A and B are shown apart, each in its own frame.
Chain A
Amino acid sequence: QVQLQESGPGLVKPSETLSLNCTVSGGSISRTSYYWGWIRQPPGKGLEWIGSIYYTGSTYDNPSLKSRVTISVDTSKDQFSLNLRSVTAADTAVYYCVRHLAAGGTFEYWGQGTLVTVSS
């Protein structure tokens, strides 16, 4: 059974960079056919897909985030990471890491989520 676990600071200052890691267990991140992604949910609001990465490093992300996103992968650690630059209070959210099929965006496995608050 695949499990995903987010980690990282719970508080980030405005204009700084939000950085999160996701550790995958129960299966290698290098398995073909799967992408690894990030989704966020502001408190009391809906879900927003941020971006996804393949184990080769190929990525794609949500254009609405205006190129503030970098997603990377470390196959030796079965981890992938999110960097979101120039954050504002609007980036306060629960951030989830997910797994989906390379053939489509069906988010089958989710981490438990981690709340990141942007505040000075």
Chain B
Amino acid sequence: DIQMTQSPSSLSASVGDRVTITCRASQSISSYLNWYQQKPGKAPKLLIYAASTLQRGVPARFSGSGSGTDFTLTISSLQPEDYGTYYCQQSDSISYTFGQGTKLEIK
């Protein structure tokens, strides 16, 4: 299986901050990388697919970049509703795997 490692595991930031979450794959996955946001008690929501394509309806302050093994999710100006846990997920290998998650708190 391809292992996905996210950092940091948690972070706390203020409204208006620029926030970056990284995800590393144990082997090259080209651009087959997706990002999800999960709020407590809710199902995950797809934010970005194919490493950098914004899912329709997702605010433009979210962006993704990277290819190969290293990827980044950036929130350009943090909003109060952006709290939750963020997961990366590889879709290169059909044994799909997720990162362990990054919990984002708003100060």
Contacts and interface: CB of A to CB of B under 8 A. Distances in A.
B10 to A, nearest CB: 13
Given A46-B87, A60-B94, A62-B95, A107 B44 contact: yes
A106 B43 contact: no
Interface residues of A, number: 18
A89 B100 CA distance: 21
A27 interface: no
A62 B89 CA distance: 14
Which of A46, A48, A108, A110 neighbours the largest number of chain B CB atoms within 10 Å of its CB? Answer: A46
Given A47-B44, A64-B1, A111-B43, A104 B91 contact: yes
Contacts of A104: 32, 91
A66 B56 CA distance: 37
Nearest to A60: B94
A107 B95 contact: no
B34 A106 contact: yes
15 contacts: A46-B87, A47-B44, A47-B98, A49-B95, A60-B94, A104-B91, A105-B34, A105-B91, A105-B94, A106-B34, A107-B36, A107-B46, A108-B49, A110-B43, A113-B43
